[in-house]
Amino acid sequence: MNSLFDVIFTTDFAFSVLRVTTPILFAALGALISNRAGIINIGMEGIMLVAALAGVIVSSYTHSAWVGLLGAVMSGTLISGILAFFTLKFKTHIILGGVAINMFASGGTVFILYLLSGDKGSSTSLASKVLPSVEIPLLKDIPVLGPILSGHHILTYVSIIAVFVVYYLLNRTPLGLRIRSVGENPHAAQSVGVSVVKIQYMALLLSGFFAGLGGAYMSMGYLSLFTRDMIAGRGWIAIAAESMGRSTTVGTALTSLLFGTADALSNALQVLKIPAELIATLPYVATVIGLVIYAVSETRKKNKKLKSPLVK
């Protein structure tokens, strides 16, 4: 057990928690916005995967990591836009639409990767660029905090800023108010002149934008290339994090951090003599447990409400 603590109570481990939380946090914020507008975007996983590939392709052809990032984010928004078009215009079932996006992404990315690089596994032959990591002046010299908080990938800092941006967007802007009102009661929103479909379009596009950032981080930060199915369930974990965070910005950010910790733990424990296959399941086990705890407490709350004489 000693060696377990040796692994966890280090600045390296705390650093890696932030590193692996980043993609989950981006996607969870995206899921949060669309959920608040009353739409469950199940396509997170696929959108991230497409964006991760787009970042690699665009950056390798333009020789610029920043243009690559733009390409990733735009492709994420575009895929989300396609999903929005089908669900809002053609009334495709939102969950099945999301399943379709994921199915498209898992094969489609390999298809495009093969056409461009002749390789079905990874993008090693494409000279893609990586976004830089940033040392924060002053902060980096503080002991303990410095090694944990400084030197991260730029998108990791963007993800932390994004939490505040999303909080501000949802709670302090007219668009945020409309998103929340559409999600809570579309008919009431409609009756006061809010275009429900338009707001839901906006929310889905924004969720694709954030998933795109998460995807870009995976292939241009977390790793420096694209590999098939590299999102590996992070999109789903993000959806679970959002659900467990009770659809609040702060809650979502905290549960994302929790799942990031589980993920980092599964990486860190690889050095111990526990089979890697079992350790790899840790984030998923954590997700199920988290989801169950959330669901149980919600049910209790609802039952209490029903029994209370005040609410009739």
Partner 1 sequence: MFKVKYFEYIRTSAVIVIALAIAFLIISLVSDQPVKTIGIFLLEPLNSKGHIGNVIEMAIPLMFTGLAVSLLFRANMFNLGAEGIFYFSGVVTSVLAIHLTLDGWLHPIVAIAAGSIVGALLSAIPGILKAKWNANELVTSLMFNNILFGVGLYLLNYHLRDAKAFANVSYKFEKTALLSKMVPGTRIHTGLIIVIVLIIAAHLFLYKTKWGYELRMTGINRNFARYSGMKTAKVIILVHLIAGFIAGMGGSVEVLGMYNRFQWTSLPGYGLDGALVAMLAKNNPLSVIGAALFLAYIRIGADMMARLSDVPSEMISIIQAIIILLISAEQFLKFWKNRMLLKEAKEA
CA distance 70 to 51: 10
DSSP 8-state class, residue 128: -
Q: Using CB under 8 A, pick the residue from 10, 11, 64, 106 that binds partner 1.
A: 106
Task: Say which residues have a Cβ less than 8 Å from residue 228's Cβ, sequence separation at least 6.
Answer: 106, 109, 110, 113, 120, 121, 122
CA distance 24 to 20: 7
Q: Looking at beta carbons only, is 45 or 214 nearer to partner 1?
A: 45
Q: Looking at beta carbons only, is 107 or 132 nearer to partner 1?
A: 107
277 scored as a contact of partner 1 (CB under 8 A): yes
Nearest distance from C-beta of residue 173 to partner 1, angstroms: 29
Q: Using CB under 8 A, pick the residue from 127, 188, 271, 278 that binds partner 1.
A: 278
Q: Using CB under 8 A, pick the residue from 3, 6, 12, 120 that binds partner 1.
A: 120
Tokens (6 digits) for 33? 């916005």
* Helix (H), strand (E) at residue 130: none
- Compute and round to an integer the Cα radius of gyration of the chain: 20
Q: Looking at beta carbons only, is 45 or 131 nearer to partner 1?
A: 45
Tokens (6 digits) for 144? 């303990």
CA distance 295 to 12: 34
**DSSP-derived 3-state class of residue 142:** coil
Q: Looking at beta carbons only, is 250 or 292 nearer to partner 1?
A: 292
Q: In this structure, which amino acid lies at residue 213?
A: L
Q: Determine the size of the site formed for partner 1 (CB under 8 A).
A: 44
Nearest distance from C-beta of residue 145 to partner 1, angstroms: 34
Q: Which residues bind partner 1 (CB under 8 A)?
A: 42, 86, 89-93, 95-97, 99-101, 103-104, 106-108, 110-111, 114-115, 120, 233, 236, 239-240, 243, 275, 277-278, 280-281, 284-285, 287-288, 291-292, 294-296, 298-299
